[in-house]
């Protein structure tokens, strides 16, 4: 047998990382809006960055000391900061280094071509003890536009999230849609969301599976990570 490096040691670290991941299934039991929870975490003394303006309609509800937006593309008067998150730059030499108390990044990381670099950049923009709010898809359809103004690269399991956010000291993930409702959403798209989910049918059918199975085969994951 040829052994190269320390595979047993590395695998042990990975297993420990994944097993320590905190999982909360409250968004499997409720159709609550994660954006409202984010707003509840933010106070008027905080400096906040919304990547991709991913708070959408709730963006105007954020009450804080400073709110900035970031995107790779420019759209009229948006964003405040144009930056390719996947680009390796010396963040330490810019005005956004160690600047933000909270960073929001919902349904963005699947569109960046190098998420490892992107997370390193986000980490550097956060203050110590800063909060990183995110959402990443897992069982979800391809959703880049035909003109490829933005692209669709990745999907994330709970294991992948634990590794991607390994430099954060605390991580909690919230599965969104369980094993069965995720499949229905992929098959029927917005029709499923606007009809069956409106009447909480997704919560009913996901009860046929355990929290463990639903968290492994979710449609995606909200997460909160503390630097």
- 133 backbone dihedrals φ, ψ, rounded to 5°: -100, 130
Q: What is the pLDDT of residues 14-72, one digit of tens each?
A: 999 998 899 999 999 888 899 999 999 999 999 999 999 999 999 999 999 999 999 99
At residue 39, the pLDDT reads: 97
pLDDT at 177: 94
Mean pLDDT of the chain: 94
Strand order from edge to edge, sheet including 100-106: 22-23, 170-176, 220-226, 126-137, 100-106, 47-51, 66-71, 81-82
For residue 114, whether the previous peptide bond is cis, meaning omega lies within 30 degrees of 0, is: no
Q: What is the pLDDT of residue 76?
A: 83
pLDDT tens profile 173-193: 999 999 999 999 999 888 988
Q: What is the pLDDT at residue 43?
A: 95
The predicted pLDDT at position 84 comes to 96
Mean pLDDT along residues 219-224: 97
High-pLDDT (> 70) share of the chain, %: 100
Residue 106 has pLDDT above 90, yes or no: yes
Backbone phi and psi for residue 32, each to the nearest 5 degrees, phi listed first:
-60, 155
CA distance 99 to 60: 21
pLDDT at residue 208, as a whole number: 86
Least confident of 38-47, 134-143, 207-216: 207-216
**Range with the largest mean pLDDT of 69-78, 158-167, 211-220:** 158-167
Q: Can you give the pLDDT at residue 211?
A: 86
Q: What is the pLDDT of residue 30?
A: 87
Q: How many Cβ atoms are within 10 Å of 53's Cβ, its own excluded?
A: 17
Per-residue confidence (pLDDT) for residue 31, from 0 to 100: 86
Name the burial class of residue 223, with classes exposed (0-12), middle (13-18) and buried (19+) by CB atoms within 10 angstroms of its CB. Answer: buried
Task: Confirm whether pTM is higher than 0.85.
Answer: yes
Task: Check whether 101 has a pLDDT greater than 90.
Answer: yes
Listed range (12-26, 104-118, 196-210) with the worst mean pLDDT: 196-210
């Amino acid at each position: 047998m040829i052994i190269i490096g320390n595979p047993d040691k590395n695998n042990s670290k990975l297993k420990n990382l994944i097993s320590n991941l905190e999982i909360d299934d409250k968004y499997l039991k409720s159709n609550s809006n994660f954006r409202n929870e984010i707003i509840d975490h933010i106070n008027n003394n905080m400096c906040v960055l919304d990547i991709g303006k991913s708070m959408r309609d709730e963006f105007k509800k954020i009450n804080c000391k400073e709110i900035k937006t970031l995107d790779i593309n420019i759209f009229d008067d948006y964003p405040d900061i144009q930056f390719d998150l996947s680009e390796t730059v010396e963040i330490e030499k810019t005005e956004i280094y160690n600047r933000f108390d909270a960073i929001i990044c919902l349904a963005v990381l699947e569109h960046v071509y190098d998420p490892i670099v992107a997370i390193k950049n986000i980490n550097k923009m956060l203050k110590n003890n800063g909060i990183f709010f995110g959402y990443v898809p897992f069982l979800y359809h391809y959703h880049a536009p035909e003109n490829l103004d933005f692209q669709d690269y990745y999907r994330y399991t709970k294991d992948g999230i634990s590794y991607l956010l390994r430099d954060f000291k605390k991580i909690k993930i919230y599965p969104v849609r369980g094993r069965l409702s995720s499949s229905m959403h992929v098959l029927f798209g917005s029709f499923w969301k606007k009809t069956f989910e409106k009447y909480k049918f997704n919560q009913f059918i996901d009860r046929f599976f355990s929290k463990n199975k639903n968290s492994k085969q979710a449609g995606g994951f909200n997460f909160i990570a503390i630097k």
